[in-house]
Amino acid sequence: LAVRHATPRSVANSLLPALTHLYLEFSGFTNYETSFVDVVRLLSQAPCLEFLRLQGLANYEALAPSAETNIGPASLPNLRLLVFDDCSNAAISILPYLNAGSTALIRVRIRWMSMRPFVLIMEHFIKGNATKIYLEMSFGAFVLCMEGPSSGLWMGGSDSEDPSAASFNSSLSSTSPFTNVTSFILECHSSIFGNPHIELLRYIPKLAYFDFRIASYSAEDAEEGGDEEV
């Protein structure tokens, strides 16, 4: 089932119990009619889903759950692929409320970045299964890849400025998701490099392969030989 200009309430409940593929594309005006609770309840009515794609969830106020939100998670034990495309940070708030199977592949592309998506995703999805991590942060953009024996995550997005090393480290270390990680590749440019990046290693006791790449702050710096910090 594929629906454009969708709201969760516009999809007939009677269609959902047997669905294996669902694509919902939200638009600007439907976002204002969509709430966090609506999305979770809709997905809880589709337990057979294997492929799910949600595009354009961007209404931050409606999609950010309040402290009073009392709703159970949606169980999706057969999920194989979950895609959030062109969504805001608030859409990522839905992820902890989806109980996906251990073989799910997750792809997330968000418009703006903050530390919260890192914490939520690492804590709730691949916390005990990830063995390989790749993280790139440069010039307001980021890519995070996590891979386990049967599951995986790709997340990318951008922000107006890079996160500080200290805030990034405190966010990750508070979740301690690295129990089984053996491979860690970290790539960033010199302006955001700091000791907190190295301190992350204390949370990865089984690390066997570490690839640390520090790039010049800009292409101009590299051409002019201004790479002393690197």
Which candidate, 119, 159, 164, 120, places its Cα nearest to that of 140? 159
Its pTM surpasses 0.95: no
Which candidate, 84, 203, 78, 192, places its Cα nearest to that of 142? 192
Q: What is the pLDDT of residues 15-32, one digit of tens each?
A: 788 999 999 888 766 666
Strands 98-100 and 209-215: unpaired
Percent of the chain with pLDDT strictly greater than 70: 62
Q: What is the pLDDT of residues 43-98, one digit of tens each?
A: 998 999 999 998 888 765 566 666 666 788 899 999 999 998 887 766 677 877 88
Percent of the chain with pLDDT strictly greater than 90: 13
